[in-house]
Amino acid sequence: MRDMPLISVEGVSKRFRLPRTASDILTGRPPAAVHALNNVDLEVHRGETLGIVGESGCGKSTLARCLVRLLEPDEGLVRFDGKDIGLLPQAERRAFNRRVQMIFQDPYSSLNPRMSVRQVLSEALSVHAMRPKADIPARITELLGLVRLPADAANRYPHEFSGGQRQRIGIARALAVEPEVLVADELVSALDVSVQAQVINLLLDLQERLKLTVVFVAHDLRLVRHISHRVAVMYLGKVVETGPTEALFATPRHPYSKALLDAAPELDPARQTRVAAARGELPNPLDLPTGCLFNTRCPFAFERCFAERPNLSNRGPAHFAACHLTDFGKPTPATIAAQ
């Protein structure tokens, strides 16, 4: 299983062109573009939970949308089950849409306000022919039970539910088509903290029961640490480090990962340390730095970092980082001396 990833992202880049301005036309320049994803490599294995973390604007959501093919990559490709999802014929495309489902961040805009829960679920069930027509009502009740909503929720409209309940309707919609992969984009960031736990526990429970593969996009590090088997850290549209959760949190091997982890507030005062967070602001994604994308903020940057962009290379079992300092974060006396 480990050898053949369920989803593999290979060198995916995505740009969003801005409208052409008057000066673009006068100077004959192509219009500026936001570089949302820059040569992303990533693998998702069957049955695992992969957490994708990073600051806002780092391309997490864009990557999530590329995974479910709501966005087409400009370069590179996404493979699902070994096949490029951009080249699937109609019938397989449909199957792909069923097998990989997305759950959205905003519980308010992700449900059609004019459709009752029953309509939402029965549409998914009947379009994908999941059940014979006669069995649909029973399946709707079953799905609602799965996300811990009462059966009579079926007759209500989205505005009659709270944010957490709406997210559970979104999960039920995704589960209706019995997917293998759930891509959850900031699933709980719009919810109250007290409700977040409910929704997260529901997701974990469902994952275990239904053997789901989950890609969990979030900016909350503690949450990601809690639920992920593996973590990918993104910076400026690139995956800079990926590894098993515990290894990555214990010994981050990329200076950005370290800065990000150190910046997370620690509840336990004994463990609180004041570590220099990454200096300065995120560079303008319209105009990326040459060389390593992190070189404008990295305290360890040297000449090579400004000339050459590092690729992911191995740092340990299933642990990769894109940094020229191959020793960075390595748990040896050398790292202590380096700092």
Size of the site for another protein (CB under 8 A): 43
**Please, which residue, 69 or 238, has the CB nearer to another protein?**
69
Site for another protein contains 31 (CB under 8 A): no
Long-range contacts of 291-300 (CB under 8 A, 24+ apart): 292/322, 292/323, 292/324, 293/38, 293/235, 293/236, 293/237, 293/238, 293/240, 294/235, 294/236, 294/240, 294/254, 294/255, 294/256, 297/256, 297/259, 298/255, 298/256, 299/255, 300/255, 300/325, 300/328, 300/338
Angle subtended at Cα 75 by Cα 53 and Cα 6, rounded to the nearest 5 degrees: 55
**Please, which residue, 4 or 70, has the CB nearer to another protein?**
70
Site for another protein contains 311 (CB under 8 A): no
Q: Are 330 and 255 in contact (CB under 8 A)?
A: no
Site for another protein contains 148 (CB under 8 A): yes
Binding string to another protein for residues 192 to 211, with x set by CB under 8 A, is what? Answer: -----xx--x----------
Phi/psi of residue 231, nearest 5 degrees: -130, 140
Among 19, 28, 134, 159, binds another protein (CB under 8 A): 159
Could you tell me which stretch among 37-45, 122-130, 241-249, 327-335 binds another protein (CB under 8 A)?
122-130
Phi/psi of residue 93, nearest 5 degrees: -60, -45
Site for another protein contains 189 (CB under 8 A): no
Using CB under 8 A, which residues numbered 95 to 114 contact another protein?
A: 96-98, 101-102, 104-106, 108-114
Binding string to another protein for residues 219 to 258, with x set by CB under 8 A, is what? Answer: ----------------------------------------
User: Rounded to the nearest 10 degrees, how much is the dihedral formed by the CA atoms of 35, 40, 234, 207?
Assistant: 130
* CA distance between the termini of the chain: 39
Site for another protein contains 80 (CB under 8 A): no
Site for another protein contains 12 (CB under 8 A): no
Among 157, 178, 219, 247, binds another protein (CB under 8 A): 157
**Please, which residue, 151 or 277, has the CB nearer to another protein?**
151
192 bridge partner residues: none
Site for another protein contains 28 (CB under 8 A): no
Using CB under 8 A, which residues numbered 60 to 79 contact another protein?
A: 65, 68, 70
Q: Are 146 and 130 in contact (CB under 8 A)?
A: no
Sheet containing 83-84: which strands, arranged edge to edge? Answer: 33-44, 7-17, 75-80, 83-84
Using CB under 8 A, which residues numbered 125 to 144 contact another protein?
A: 127-128
Site for another protein contains 169 (CB under 8 A): no
DSSP 51: E
Could you tell me which stretch among 44-52, 151-159, 243-251, 304-312 binds another protein (CB under 8 A)?
151-159
Output helix, strand, coil percentages for the chain, rounded to the nearest 5: 40, 20, 40
Which residues form the interface with another protein (CB under 8 A)? 65, 68, 70, 93-94, 96-98, 101-102, 104-106, 108-115, 123-124, 127-128, 145, 148-150, 153, 156-161, 165, 170, 173, 177, 197-198, 201
